[in-house]
Amino acid sequence: MEYQFTGNLQRDEAAMVALFQNCADIKKKEMKIGKNKGISCFLIYIEVTLSSVMLRTTALGNFLARLSEMPEEDIPKVLVQNGMGLSDVMLYETAEEAGEGLLTGDAILLVDGFPLAMKIPDKGYPGEPIKDTDTEKVLRGSNEGFNENVKLNTALMRKRLRSLDFKVEEMFLGKRTQTLINITYMDGIVKPELVKKVKERLSDFQIDGVLDGGMAEQLTEDTWLSPFPQIQSTLRPDRAVMEVLDGKVVVLCNNSPAALIMPADYNSFIQTTDDYYQRPWIASFARLIRYVASFFAMSLPGLYLAVTNFQTGILPTTLLLSFAAARQGVPFPAVVEVILMELSFELLREAGVRLPGAMGNTIGIVGGLIIGQAAVEANLVSPIVVIVVAFTALCSFCIPNDEFAGAFRLLKFFVIILSAWLGFFGFLWAMLAILTHLALLKSYDHPYLIPFVGIKGDGQERRKDSVVRFPLWSLIYRSIHAKDTQKRRFRGKENLEDE
């Protein structure tokens, strides 16, 4: 049963203390305020959320100092009307509401004779400052990256998007963690049904805690069986703003530096922010490399097995003889060679990720060279297999999004098994199965292969920003995700007044 504040400080204080019993990190402080120190008050807060120089430099310290100099009869009126103009001050009627307010990192003040609790902001929870993005490197553009504070992340987006149409809605996920979620979008550009569906999916489940945006991503995606991510993540504010301007919804999760972009598609995972900051020829060339790399990242080992084990007639005679000579003395079938080397490279990749800093990079490079060379000299694998596996690993590194690259790393083994079993026929079956899956896959009711499928009419214009990036002045239309009435994003002098 909820406890209603009465203004009796002794009872109200006891109710708050009872909520946080056996909590050593919750600090309580009793004070006297008023010019004659005639009114008792009680401050409760989380240990690290108040500044150590509270009474000198913070809003809370100045607030309490001014209350201590004020006549007692004026204090209730000042508290009710927030006469000192503090920002983000809230009044609570019950102890349970005040307790939830305290857990946001603010202080709760109870004053004798005042039947409400007051939440006053101060330093808040500790957090990391704005930092560079490690996993989304940039050649050109801002180096600012999101951090773990959702409020700061929202501010980084608003810094770049100074529009009244930029909306931010709050939700809380996790029955016990009460993790703050910010849903951001451009009103008038985004389709209302998309915003509604995002809110519904975020509120359709109950779970004890949401500790990172990745948990919300898994609980709201369309097809959990698919290896392909249906929600894109980014650590870059400029990328998040770019997607919001394209009619998508970006979800920011407290305690997580990754923003979630909804919906997502194959093409968006291949694109980078650098593509729009560079000249079209350079950007298009880089995209073509990434598309080719995404194909070979899952198909090259299987294609090698299909050709060398079954369809050897495809290869020139000299190349075939070279392959045969390289395999002299190798005791394992080709499929065992490939799987052993692929697993070795995956182990090295995982070790490089887990080891700190420069040591991880060293293990990845030196370990690959040493293991590959030693395996060849020991006649465990042939040199051509090392080349194929290494080239496949390079292709997976070319994919900008690590979660997206992970799907190809997993599907690579599916292609290897079918190719080793059925040869080139199995390779084609594997490619057909993956393509069919991608064609059927949807992200928030949008086809995963947009803009290659699911568009018509002037939607064909969206293909100018797909495999090849046309000049910016020719990218007239937003993506298919935007409202039809706001489909135009670029206007020249001749049509500035259109729409």
- Segment 386-406, tens digit of pLDDT: 889 889 988 998 998 889 999
Amino acid of residue 258: A
Mean pLDDT lowest for which of 239-253, 278-292, 295-309, 374-388?
A: 374-388
For the segment 168-196, the average pLDDT, to the nearest whole number, is 91
- % of the chain beyond a pLDDT of 70: 88
Give me the residues paired with residue 443 across strands. 446
Q: Give the pLDDT confidence score for residue 495 in this predicted structure.
A: 56
On average, the pLDDT of the chain sits at 84
Q: Give the pLDDT confidence score for residue 54 in this predicted structure.
A: 53
Q: Give the pLDDT confidence score for residue 199 in this predicted structure.
A: 93
For the segment 329-354, the average pLDDT, to the nearest whole number, is 85
Query: Cα dist. 192→14, 268, 349 in Å?
Result: 47, 21, 42
Euclidean distance between CA atoms 256 and 150, whole angstroms: 8
Q: Give the pLDDT confidence score for residue 420 in this predicted structure.
A: 92
> 467 pLDDT band (50/70/90 cuts)?
confident
pLDDT in tens, 258-273: 999 999 999 999 998 8
> 427 pLDDT band (50/70/90 cuts)?
very high
Q: Give the pLDDT confidence score for residue 378 in this predicted structure.
A: 79
Euclidean distance between CA atoms 491 and 487, whole angstroms: 11
For the segment 327-334, the average pLDDT, to the nearest whole number, is 82
pLDDT in tens, 94-117: 998 998 888 888 889 898 888 889
The more confident residue out of 361 and 433 is: 433
pLDDT for 291 beyond 90:
yes
For the segment 225-236, the average pLDDT, to the nearest whole number, is 92
pLDDT for 130 beyond 70:
no
For the segment 335-344, the average pLDDT, to the nearest whole number, is 89
Are 226 and 182 in contact by the 8 Å Cβ rule? The answer is no
Q: Give the pLDDT confidence score for residue 466 in this predicted structure.
A: 83
Q: Give the pLDDT confidence score for residue 364 in this predicted structure.
A: 65
pLDDT for 157 beyond 60:
yes
- Taking the alpha carbons of 46, 48, 49, 50 in that order, is the dihedral positive or negative? positive
pLDDT for 362 beyond 70:
no
List strand residue ranges (DSSP E) for 392-478, in order: 442-443, 446-447
pLDDT for 416 beyond 90:
yes
> 492 pLDDT band (50/70/90 cuts)?
low
pLDDT for 497 beyond 60:
no
Q: What is the DSSP letter of 8?
A: -
pTM score of the predicted model: 0.83
Q: Give the pLDDT confidence score for residue 359 in this predicted structure.
A: 63
Q: Give the pLDDT confidence score for residue 374 in this predicted structure.
A: 79
For the segment 328-351, the average pLDDT, to the nearest whole number, is 86
Q: Give the pLDDT confidence score for residue 332 in this predicted structure.
A: 84
Euclidean distance between CA atoms 287 and 196, whole angstroms: 33
Q: Which has the closest alpha carbon to 276: 232, 323, 231, 242?
A: 242
Mean pLDDT lowest for which of 153-157, 297-301, 337-341, 369-373?
A: 369-373
Q: Give the pLDDT confidence score for residue 101 in this predicted structure.
A: 86
Q: Give the pLDDT confidence score for residue 411 in this predicted structure.
A: 95
Q: Give the pLDDT confidence score for residue 305 in this predicted structure.
A: 92
Q: Give the pLDDT confidence score for residue 375 in this predicted structure.
A: 78
Q: Which residues contact 405 (CB under 8 A, 6 or more apart)?
A: 297, 396, 397, 399
pLDDT for 241 beyond 70:
yes
The more confident residue out of 59 and 5 is: 5
Euclidean distance between CA atoms 389 and 297, whole angstroms: 9
Question: Could you give the 3-state DSSP secondary structure of residue 398?
Answer: coil
pLDDT for 352 beyond 90:
no
Are 225 and 218 in contact by the 8 Å Cβ rule? The answer is no
